[in-house]
Chains A and B, each alone.
Chain A
């Protein structure tokens, strides 16, 4: 089984709708990173969360890390076609420094 789970696996939304992607672990996360990937391209770093309860926003994307530091959500407000792609979470897990893992990704399509 994956150390990081993401849900949903894929998502199709109408332009202008809000959406949420989740990243979950059974272990405590020392740092949670969100990346975006367009098909066939590299990953672009979006945000990093470290503290329980932390929340960060960039333009229309907000990421939160829960108090237990085992779950993160990525929320997109008023989605646009430019938001389409694969969103991956990545995390530092115990023991710190060696075991950075990625989730399987969530594929987002935004219909105009």
Chain B
């Protein structure tokens, strides 16, 4: 079955460390997105990519980096420059030009 897989489900990071969250989809979707979810604030867009080897900053890109070397994969790196990284991170994908996103099950990142 086609879908979008995020790993790991839970991640703990020490302050000052970079950490990479994985997102893989086998839906043949062109576009992929990373969102951050905090209580009471809904989802905020970090980065998005509409084609391979191209990506754009979202509303809260500072302290994050991404790559899109393959259509299926869109990993997110949370760098030590991100001041408040503890959050629930959601990856999504969609066909080009549509908004009926398919979401992954999320990664909960905690800085200890």
Which residues of A are in contact with B by a Cβ distance under 8 Å?
2, 4, 9, 31, 33, 35, 40-45, 48, 88, 90, 92, 100-105
Taking a contact as CB atoms under 8 Å apart, the answer to whether B99 and A104 are in contact is: no
Taking a contact as CB atoms under 8 Å apart, the answer to whether A43 and B90 are in contact is: yes
Let me know if B75 is at the binding interface, CB within 8 A. Answer: no
Let me know if B105 is at the binding interface, CB within 8 A. Answer: yes
Taking a contact as CB atoms under 8 Å apart, the answer to whether B99 and A31 are in contact is: yes
Taking a contact as CB atoms under 8 Å apart, the answer to whether B99 and A92 are in contact is: yes
Binds A, one of B11-19, B40-48, B61-69, B77-85: B40-48
Mostly helix, strand, loop or mixed at chain A's interface? strand
Q: How far is the CB of A24 from chain B (nearest CB, A)?
A: 14
Given the complex, which residues of A lie within 8 Å of B103, measured CB to CB?
A: 35, 42-44
Q: How far is the CB of B43 from chain A (nearest CB, A)?
A: 4
Let me know if B102 is at the binding interface, CB within 8 A. Answer: yes
Let me know if B88 is at the binding interface, CB within 8 A. Answer: yes
Across the interface, B101 reaches (CB within 8 A) one of A2, A40, A41, A45, namely A45
